[in-house]
Amino acid sequence: MTEQRRLDDAVGAWVRSGPELASADFVERTLRPIPRMRQRRSWRIALERAGLPVVAVAGATAVVAVLVAGVGFMAIGPGVGGPAPTTTPTPSRPTFELRVIGGPGDGVYTADPTSSLNSCRRADNGSWSLLYAGGTPFVNMDLVVGSGVDETGSSNRVGLELYAGAGYLRFDPAGLRGGDPPGRSSAAVAVRDGPDLTTIEVSAVTPDGGSSGSDEATVEVHLTVTCPG
């Protein structure tokens, strides 16, 4: 009990002093009662995020992690550095809002965060693609946006195949995937890059394929996609 109390006092004094490096004697005395274990990368990350130095001594990362947990983060407790700043978290998965006007798929749809397929990617040539399947009612979307949409006369470089609820439709006025016959559909797309997010906005008018797959009533599609990165 006395030896444990001396160890606790030594640990507490060391952490309160704001050390930059543990002495070899301190590390040896502290390691003695602790079983040796393999270093885990997560401990190193936790220490770096907490602003504590990583001691370059064999096994010292594990020791410092135990010390920090044991004394309740005394070295970074209240009153040091003030409260952490609040920030809006960046979505880790793509999100979208889809509005279909007309046809059997008429309605408003949003991304389901639990969907099994939800991928937004930018290719090396500057084009974008979105694959999504999920939600209730079910939405299956395959979107491609060609590079150079900001160039004059190129805002129609977008193709979409969509199952939304009871409706099916497609459009491809720029011929990215085989193309529509001239005049079958019209579309415009804008891509806005930000530091953490890229927003893709699509507006289109196209015949609805319906259950038969033939062009029927004209529908409008308004789609806003937010892609992380």
Residues 153 and 216 in one domain: yes
Same domain for 124 and 223, yes or no, is: yes
Whether 124 and 72 share a structural domain? no
Task: Provide the whole-model pTM.
Answer: 0.59
Please check whether residue 152 lies inside any domain of the structure: yes
Note the pLDDT of residue 99.
Answer: 98
**Whole-number pLDDT of residue 220:** 96
How far is residue 33 CA from its own chain's centroid? 42
Nearest residue to 193 (alpha-carbon basis) of 159, 160, 157, 229 = 229
Which contiguous run of DSSP H or E holds residue 6?
Answer: helix 2-16
Q: Do both 72 and 129 map to the same domain?
A: no
99 in Cβ contact with 225 (< 8 Å): no
Inside any domain, residue 216: yes
| 101 shares a domain with 70 | no
Tokens of 47: 């220490």
Residues 43 and 125 occupy one common structural domain: no
**Domain endpoint, select from 43, 76, 109:** 76
When divided into structural domains, the chain yields a total of 2
Q: Could you tell me the end-to-end alpha-carbon distance of the chain, in angstroms, rounded to an integer?
A: 54
168-213 confidence digits (pLDDT tens): 999 999 998 888 888 889 999 999 988 899 999 999 999 876 555 5
Side chain identity, residue 146: G
Q: How confident is the model at residue 39 (pLDDT cuts 50, 70, 90)?
A: very low
Specify if 83 maps to a domain.
no
**What pLDDT sits at residue 229?**
73
Residue 20 lies in a domain: yes
Residues 54 and 160 reside in one and the same domain: no
**Can you give the residue range of the structural domain that contains 188?**
95-228
